[in-house]
Amino acid sequence: MKKIITSGLFLLLASVGFSQNAPINFETGGQGASWTWTTFENDSNPRLEIVNNPSSMAPNTSSKVAKFTALPGGKPWAGCESQKATDIGTFTLTASNAVVKMMVYKSVISDVGIKFVKNDNSAIPEIKVANTKINEWEELTFNFTSKIGSPEATDITQIVVFMDFYSGTADRTTTTVSYFDNITFSGGSALPVPTVPAMAPTKPAADVISLFSHVYTNRPVDTWRTSWSAATLTDFPIGTDTVKRYTALDFVGIETVSNQIDITSMDMFEFDVWTPNSTTLKFKLVDFGADGAFGGGDDKEHETVINTPTLNGWNHISMPISGMTGLTTKSNIAQLIFASAPAGTSVIYLDNILFSKAAVVPEPTTAAPTPTKVAANVISMFSNAYTNVTVDTWRTDWSAATLTDIQIASNDVKKYSALDFVGIETVANQINISTMDSFEFDVWTPNSTTLKFKLVDFGADGAFGGGDDKEHETVITPTLNGWNHVSTAISAMTGLTSKSNIAQLIFASVPSGSSIIYLDNILFSKNLAIGLASVNKEVVGVFPNPATESLNIVLPGSISAENTSITIINQLGQEVMKVSLKEAQTQLSLQGLKAGLYTYIISNQEQTIQSSRLLVQ
């Protein structure tokens, strides 16, 4: 019988011992007023006082509150702490109690901090939140949800409060008085976590020095969390990948002091980061210099700030090392430091941390083919083959692109890099294309997967936004690393219902912000480059039209089949077929062409003989 009673008593004591004494309201019969509070780092360390509320009106009508007086000579981190285990009890942070709220009444604006400690003195670093009001009550929120599951978040036995945690290390010079009250613990939503890994890097291993990536052989790292860090590190699995997770992050040091890295041959520092709550992320590279020692007088460093990283998705960060102006030596990289806001509660996941050589971007080495249409049938904006009309600007101030005028094989070319979109304007010299049939240009690109171009007519008033503006945008998929000749029928630009005041030409590209395109021979043209009088007005026979499976081409006697060809162009201006005519009568197979409207052009030595619409059914 005694054994049963003893066992029951033990269970009762255990349940009491592992409970949380809250809320802390300092009222008689409540929690906090009778606790054994100890002050620290506060000069003579006057005791924490339980006093009448200095302003017992909303939002805090309590009778009693705690008063903390910070004295001159005290440290910035002067504060007070409860007695372990007996005061607040023993508890673990969970989704039901990890959001801590506290009322404060202060005479100065500064950080307020809360920290939780275990019996073995291991602790969750303090979360600091600044008050925004003075001499009135204000409720502050300290969100500890990012600490849930960490070793320091279990079996907590002590709360520590810092009421005037100002920045710096100098001793306090004035007295400040602060009051606090109604410390409550409530639930908060768990922060999201990544469920898919970052995209695997694809650069050749020979061009990479990897610190952490499952794709490459990684260099030795002394530690992924230095002893002076303010963060919790765990290896976090995502599918078959594992990433570095830093919770309760203020700052974290990663060191390669005994395995210093020479990055002088590298061009980029890259990593992937996923965060549910970081609003500002900073990273710093530190080179210890030729002596390889910290603080030897030759240390160099550079910090980069990423404002507002995308939340709840992977961010790929790629930073040119040449842009790290403070990192004037690069042979002894020994530290990588991450810091984040909000300090102490940020959570980040890191993968694919590496240095790399910049990819060699192909460039054109040969010029685009020289156009051969006669000048009388062309309005040229940019071509060495013609006299060009006046263009106001080849890059408007609202463009998102970099323009460089270059030459390729002695031929002038417009290069647009870092391209999202670019505006080209002829507002002061508007172009009348009402007699033209085609808009043409040559484009070369190493990376544009989608290219858009738009013509804008300002209408009869010649002004932007005058109510009569018309425009049409065309989308193409260019071939990479080769010249694309784009020829679009103006009649197919259905949105361009007026054509006498062309004032803007706009190019846009995907990938946005990183596309590169080279442009040449930008012009409007008539399809008939020579008069039919030169062929005695004899017409080439092209039938049947509409066509289904084949098309017959019959040349008149005045036109030789030699050097004569037929080209078929779709409505996007893309050449879909070109066939040399071997005889005066040719039957052309149309198998492979989708049903739709096309343009055919019959030409001899680049001069157009005849062109018209072709309907394929």
pLDDT tens digit sequence for 480-497 = 999 999 988 898 899 999
How far CA 489 is from CA of 439, 575, 609, in Å, comes to 6, 12, 17
Residue 220 backbone phi and psi in degrees, to 5:
-65, 135
In terms of CATH architecture, what is 532-616?
A: Sandwich (2.60)
- The proportion of the chain whose per-residue pLDDT surpasses 90, expressed as a percent, equals 72
Residue 573 has pLDDT above 80, yes or no: no
Q: What is the pLDDT of residue 606?
A: 62
**Which tens digit of pLDDT belongs to each residue from 378-422?**
999 999 999 999 999 999 999 999 999 999 999 999 999 999 999
Residue 572 has pLDDT above 80, yes or no: no
Please give the distance of CA 225 from its chain centroid, rounded to a whole number: 26
Tell me if residue 14 falls in helix, strand or coil: helix
- Rounded CA-CA distance 416/395 in Å is 9
pTM of the model: 0.47
Q: What number of other Cβ atoms are within 10 A of residue 131's Cβ? A: 21
- Rounded CA-CA distance 485/54 in Å is 80
Does residue 470 or residue 248 have the better pLDDT? 470
Residue 527 has pLDDT above 80, yes or no: no
**Top CATH class, 375-525:** mainly beta
Q: Do domains 205-356 and 375-525 have the same CATH topology?
A: yes
Domain extent listing, the chain: 2-186, 205-356, 375-525, 532-616
Q: What number of other Cβ atoms are within 10 A of residue 101's Cβ? A: 15
How far CA 511 is from CA of 41, 212, 270, in Å, comes to 56, 27, 19
Instruction: Report the CATH fold assignment for 2-186.
Output: Jelly Rolls (2.60.120)
Q: What is the pLDDT of residue 543?
A: 86
Tokens of 146: 């990012």
Q: What is the pLDDT of residue 381?
A: 98
Torsion of CA 117, 123, 126, 127, to 10 degrees: -100
Q: Which helix (H) or strand (E) holds 306?
A: strand 300-307
| CB 444 within 8 Å of CB 482 | yes
- Rounded CA-CA distance 239/199 in Å is 13
Q: What is the pLDDT of residue 189?
A: 67
- Rounded CA-CA distance 258/261 in Å is 10
**Superfamily designation of domain 205-356:** Galactose-binding lectin (2.60.120.430)
**Which tens digit of pLDDT belongs to each residue from 61-96?**
999 999 999 999 999 999 999 999 899 999 999 888
